[in-house]
């Protein structure tokens, strides 16, 4: 048996070219990019080059990029940074039940401090109910945080339409978690004030991410202690990681549409096949990215099924890797309003690296495990 990895939304294998870039920078650029000597200057030039390239790929300004340790830190920086800075304007926040735990946890933390959090409804199609969003918006709403693509069901949200609605609320800041969108679909940051991203979801290294912050927007830093690459996040610039992030983005972003077409075929094959089973309920909708297939096995515990596949060296997941162990999926429940389905959800996530043979093997093993566990 050969290992079949179908959990790319949790993390991706590192592209060897990204690792080579990391190693090269580690060995050839020993200077701190904030040091005044020539080694520091050399490092600073490389850091500026990488930031320039990343800015071009995202069609934003170089000054709008803040490097972080990953999307969880980006999300925390955005949310706490806005709320600490603007709490005199208001303490009202709007988000969705589809968000990653690194959005929900800081919001719960802020709720203890008097902030009020509203959750916008999700329609049957999986999209944010724009009328409901309009009705929730108030003069004291300072932050709206909605993911571009969620990690469990892969729903692509109408970010452009949401940004349009928010134009009427100039005091409200729009944060978008793009972690699951980057490298899978085109990411357009028009109308977005802040956006979070991570390298390890795009075949980069763990421990590096970024926060896009629109020029002119002030926030309170999460990590204090001097200028670094930006005043919004202190710490010695992690040059090898920064350049490796640029490399990962350069390798994946130009191929997004081509990869999507390829994955679409794999997605269709799996969904067609799984739809034949009486007790399988497909949760992903036509608004989900093709990379993510979320389904529920009505009569089998998701953990049991994941372990059965694991024994055959096929790796899939229940819920998202970072969520707590409580088995109900809030995202699936927000979409289906069905407790049984939400307690039994499983996620397969595909990649341009997934082969047709892997898909066929998965479907055969799925059938065996399904029959065995359904008895």
| Active site (catalytic) residues | 322
Query: Residue 16 to residues 95, 131, 335: CA-CA distances in angstroms?
Result: 37, 46, 38
280 contacts 295 by C-beta, under 8 angstroms: yes
Cα–Cα distance measured from residue 114 to residue 157, given in angstroms and rounded to the nearest whole number: 28
| Residue with tokens 């043979």, as numbered in its chain | 357
Nearest to 171 by CA among 58, 55, 112, 87: 87
| Residue with tokens 């002119």, as numbered in its chain | 216
Residue 190: CB atoms within 10 A of its CB come to: 9
68 contacts 195 by C-beta, under 8 angstroms: no
Nearest to 241 by CA among 368, 360, 67, 75: 67
| Residue with tokens 């088995």, as numbered in its chain | 327
β-sheet bridge partners, residue 269: none
**Backbone phi, then psi, for 94, in 5-degree steps?**
-120, 135
Nearest to 11 by CA among 53, 75, 71, 54: 71
Cα–Cα distance measured from residue 260 to residue 267, given in angstroms and rounded to the nearest whole number: 10
β-sheet bridge partners, residue 197: 210
């Amino acid at each position: 048996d050969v290992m079949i990895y179908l959990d790319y939304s949790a993390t991706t294998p590192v592209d060897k070219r990204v690792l080579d870039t990391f190693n090269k920078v580690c060995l050839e650029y020993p200077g701190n990019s904030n040091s005044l000597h020539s080694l520091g200057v050399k490092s600073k030039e490389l850091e500026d080059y990488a930031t320039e390239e990343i800015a071009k790929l995202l069609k934003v300004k170089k000054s709008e990029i803040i490097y972080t340790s990953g999307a969880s830190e980006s999300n925390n920086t955005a949310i706490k940074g806005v709320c600490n800075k603007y709490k005199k304007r208001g303490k009202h926040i709007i988000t969705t039940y589809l968000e990653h735990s690194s959005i929900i946890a800081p919001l719960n933390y802020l709720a203890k401090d008097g902030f009020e959090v509203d959750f916008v409804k999700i329609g049957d199609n999986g999209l944010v109910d724009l009328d409901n969003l309009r009705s929730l918006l108030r003069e004291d709403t300072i932050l709206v945080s909605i993911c571009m693509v969620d990690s469990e069901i892969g729903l692509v949200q109408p970010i452009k339409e949401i940004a349009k609605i928010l134009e009427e609320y100039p005091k409200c800041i729009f944060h978008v978690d793009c972690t699951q969108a980057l490298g899978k679909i085109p990411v357009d940051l028009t109308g977005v004030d802040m956006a979070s991203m991570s390298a390890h979801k795009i075949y980069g290294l763990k421990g590096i991410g970024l926060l896009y912050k629109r020029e002119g927007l002030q926030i309170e830093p999460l990590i204090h202690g001097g200028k670094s690459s930006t005043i919004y996040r202190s710490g010695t610039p992690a040059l090898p990681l920064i350049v490796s992030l640029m490399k990962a983005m350069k390798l994946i972003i130009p191929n997004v549409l081509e990869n999507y077409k390829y994955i679409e075929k794999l997605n269709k094959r799996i969904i067609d096949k799984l739809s034949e089973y009486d007790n399988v309920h497909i949760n992903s909708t036509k608004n989900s990215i093709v990379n993510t297939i979320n389904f529920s096995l009505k009569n089998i515990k998701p953990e049991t099924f994941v372990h059965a596949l694991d024994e055959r060296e096929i790796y899939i997941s229940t819920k998202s890797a970072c969520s707590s162990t409580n088995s109900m999926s809030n995202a699936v429940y927000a979409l289906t309003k069905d407790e049984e389905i939400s307690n039994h959800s499983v996620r397969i996530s595909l990649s341009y690296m997934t082969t047709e043979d892997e898909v066929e093997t998965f479907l055969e093993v799925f059938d065996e495990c399904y029959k065995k566990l359904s008895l």
